[in-house]
Amino acid sequence: MEYSTVGKTGIKVSNLCFGTMSFGGIADETESLKMYHLCREKGINFFDTANVYNSGRSEEILGKCIAESRDEVILTSKVGFPIGKGLNDRGASRRHIFQSVEKSLKRLGTDRIEFYFIHVYDYETDMEETLRALDDLQTDGKILYPAVSNWAAWQMMKALGISERESLARFELIQPMYSLVKRQAEVEIFPFASEENLGVITYSPLGGGLLTGKYANGVKPAQGRLVDQKNYEKRYGDNQYHSIANQFVEFSHKNGYHPATLAVRWAMNHSDVTAPIIGARNCEQLKYSLDAVDLWMDSRLYEEVIAISETPPLATDHSREEDQFKAKR
């Protein structure tokens, strides 16, 4: 396992992060503990959860996992998505953030969370209100750094501007979706993170399971995210994604790789990615993603894999002018 520093924070994390969305859901407590220890044996020290995962059960189980090794691991959690039926049981208001972090800390059995994510953009709360709440939590030591997930580059840049102007704690880690079938992050989010020296942990490197071969050539398995969850079915329903996945799975098998291992390794290889977030329903699944650590990907293999997918269009159509400017510098 190799380790990288998250942006300017000085915190070193493993180049794979384990996401615990399955804890307390499709993975019971016993299997969750086994997966945690398997990750630790492989050298992973970075674990991601959220208050909304299985109604807080994920945090509770992760808290039990880390009880004897809290100072050896780096934790993230999140706030933003609805956690109840109440009018204020959601969003990025000061009230909801303060209530949620206390509950997360209790469930995790810890006094601090290293990176605390705003899970989704809140159109009803003033951004400065959210950033001041996070700054206060950092001052109190309940979180070490604010973080953000599922925001557009312009929204995150606006937040950094407010933080700079008002001398508030800024986002130090971002969490976008990224896989061979979902490469939008390459257009603006990765360049933004590189320019501002932010850590990047990407989720869904397996494309919701699409890149594992589980759904190859129209196969519909008995269980899986694309079968069990409507939002995943919609997210990856485009025929283009399935075509890319089919080609990728065929390429993987032809060259002697497990598709899951190669997909995770490919996501790890991007220079702007601190760590992809891997997840699993059991240890058997998890091992294929963990094997990515031992897979050497040279530039030739990387280019062969990326050629299977379509490169997303640039943010502007002035690429020729940009290339000339770079050449002059």
Annotated catalytic sites, by residue?
53
**Which residues have C-beta within 8 Å of that of residue 30, sequence separation ≥ 6?**
none
Query: Amino acid identity of 14?
Result: S
β-strand partners of 201: 275
